[in-house]
Amino acid sequence: MSLDKVISVAGKPGLFQILTQTRTGVLAQSLIDGKKITVSARENVSLLSEIAIYTLTEEMPLGNVFQKIQNHLSGGQALSHKSSKDELEAFFFEVLPEYDEDRVYASDIKKVVQWYNLLIDKGMTDFAVAEPNQEEE
């Protein structure tokens, strides 16, 4: 499953997989416990494929950041998102040394690490950003 089917819902923990669209929003399934919820169009929802991290030169798509973490860790789990602020920032600097420290907060790094670990735990390891005209082989 690609990141364009995974959402974060403000006020709800974890990530959700979009199952289907409804008249008033979407039906989604939690990646944490598998429970299905209806997400209203009025709720603050973010597609993971549309989130980017500020770097010193550009905004890097979250999928590319996940790919860098995966390559850095050889596909393994990252440190816990409950680690100290200093540990999280040091880890993120190892993975993405060009991230903008003034605009990327510790809370953002915590979310990225938590989401990465959740996706790896669920076997979702394809973070590559598909090119618009790339053909399937």
Helices (H) and strands (E) in the chain, counts: 3, 7
Calpha distance 64→102 (Å, rounded): 20
Question: pTM for the complete prediction?
Answer: 0.87
What are the sequence ranges of the domains in the chain?
3-48, 51-121
- Span 89-119, pLDDT tens digits: 999 999 999 999 999 999 999 999 999 999 9
pLDDT at 135 over 50: no
Pick the CATH number of 3-48 from 1.10.150, 2.30.30, 2.20.130, 1.20.1630: 2.30.30
Q: Which residues contact 125 (CB under 8 A, 6 or more apart)?
A: 70, 75, 119
Query: Is 136 a residue whose pLDDT tops 60?
Result: no
Fold of 51-121: Arc Repressor Mutant, subunit A (1.10.10)
Rounded to whole angstroms, the Cα distance separating 70 from 125 reads 8
Fold match flag (3-48 vs 51-121): no
**24-77 confidence digits (pLDDT tens):** 999 999 999 999 999 998 999 999 999 999 999 999 999 999 999 999 998 888
